[in-house]
Amino acid sequence: MDIFIEQMVKKKRKMVDYALVAIIIMLGLILSALAVYLILLFIPYMIFMSFIIVFAFMFFAIRIAQGTKLEYEYSVTNQFLVIDKIIAKRRRKNVVDIKISNIDTFCKINDKRLDKMKINKSVFACEDYEDENTYVIVYHDPKFGTKAVAFNPNDEVLTAMRPYLKGSIVAEIYYKKKQA
C-alpha cells in the first residue's frame, strides 16, 4: 500500500521582511526617478524611454519584494520525504529530497545535541524557527555534508514517517525515551 501525505506551511513574515520590502520598493522609486532625471537632462525628446525605465524598475522591485512570500510543502511518499519551497506562489524549488531511513537525528529545535554537532548547511523550511514545535532532521547530504533541516510537520506527516525512521529515533520521539 502506497503512502502519500502532504502538508503546506506558510512562513510567518517578520518585521525584517516588511522592512526589506519597503527598502526594495524605495530603492526602485529612487532609481526610476534618477533614470528619468538623467534621460530628460541629456536626451529630452526621449520621454517615452523614461516611462519604460520607470516601469522596468518598479516591476523588478515589486517582483523582488514578492520573493519574501514563502510557503513550504512537505510530502511523504512511501519512504521519501520531500520539502519544496514555493516562492510567491509562482516558483517552486526543491529543498530536501531524502530517504527517511537516512535521517541520523530527529529532534526539537531547542535540543542541546544540535549545539554540539558540526552542521555544514542549515535550512529553515518552517513557519517560525523560534516555535517550540519545530523539529530538526540531520542527515548526510552528498553535496553539502551534514545538513540540518528545520520544519513543522503535523501529526499526519509524523505518523507517515514513523515506519521508516530508525528504531532509536522512534523510541526517542514517540516514546520519550532518552538514548545515551
What pLDDT was estimated at residue 179? Answer: 45
Q: How far apart are CA 149 and CA 51, in angstroms?
A: 45
Question: Residue 145: pLDDT above 50?
Answer: yes
| pTM for the model | 0.77
Q: Where are the beta strands (DSSP E) in the chain?
A: 4-10, 70-77, 80-87, 91-99, 103-108, 121-125, 135-141, 145-151
For residues 9-21, give the mean pLDDT.
Answer: 85
Instruction: Provide the mean pLDDT of the chain.
Output: 85
For residues 75-104, give the mean pLDDT.
Answer: 91
Q: Where are the beta strands (DSSP E) in 60-120?
A: 70-77, 80-87, 91-99, 103-108
For residues 77-104, give the mean pLDDT.
Answer: 91
CA contacts within 13 A on the Cβ side of 178: 4
Asked if 147 contacts 121 with a C-beta cutoff of 8 angstroms, the reply is yes
Instruction: Please write the tens of the pLDDT for every residue from 22-44.
Output: 888 888 888 888 887 887 787 77
Instruction: Please write the tens of the pLDDT for every residue from 94-134.
Output: 999 999 999 999 988 888 888 888 888 988 888 887 788 88
**Could you state, in order of their start, the residue ranges of all structural domains in the chain?**
15-66
Instruction: Please write the tens of the pLDDT for every residue from 44-65.
Output: 777 777 778 788 888 888 888 8
Question: Residue 74: pLDDT above 90?
Answer: yes
Q: How far apart are CA 108 and CA 173, in angstroms?
A: 9
3-state SS class at 161: helix
Q: C-alpha grid cell for residue 37?
A: 532625471
Paired sense of beta strands 121-125 and 145-151, if any: parallel
Tell me the sheet residues that pair with 83.
74, 96
Tell me the sheet residues that pair with 81.
76, 98
Q: How far apart are CA 42 and CA 44, in angstroms?
A: 6
Amino acid identity, residue 112?
A: K
Q: How far apart are CA 63 and CA 174, in angstroms?
A: 43
pLDDT band of 176, cuts 50, 70, 90: low
What's the gap between Cα 62 and its chain centre?
A: 20
